[in-house]
Amino acid sequence: MGNKGFTLLEVLASVAVLGLGIVAVMRLFSGSMGLAKSSSDSSSLVLFAKERMNEAILRDGVREGYGSGSAAGFKWELAVKDFEGFKPVEGIRIFELKMETTGPSGAPVVLSTLKAVSDKR
């Protein structure tokens, strides 16, 4: 007779396929939001670590030792020691500064640098 239209089975199949597509898109969106949050947390932690390291580098009177603290949900530890790979030169000391920070996510960020200090004042 040539009926034009869709059967109930065809409509149900197309709705099921459409539903699966929507679910897949929603899962991708949810996953990308989680990755964006993780990236933001990591960036904040690195910026915090760099800020604390810069404070340590710019401070006068750097000497061997250990310090720690916490602020804004981040914990930091700073270790300062003589740099072993430096040939002694009169009046100059090289310190190795190692900063380890952790945030709410728990993944640590470690920064290290060297600072030359004159013994002559």
Nearest to 61 by CA among 118, 113, 99, 100: 118
Q: Which class would CATH give 8-118?
A: mainly beta
Q: Give the pLDDT score at 1.
A: 52
pTM confidence score:
0.67
Q: What is the CA radius of gyration of the chain?
A: 29
pLDDT tens, position by position, 5-39: 888 898 999 999 999 999 999 999 888 888 888 88
Q: Where are the domains of the chain?
A: 8-118
Question: Would the CA dihedral through 64, 55, 51, 88 be positive or negative?
Answer: negative
The whole-number pLDDT of residue 23 equals 92
DSSP letters spanning 45-58: HHHHHHHHHHHHHH
In single-letter form, the type of residue at position 79 comes to A
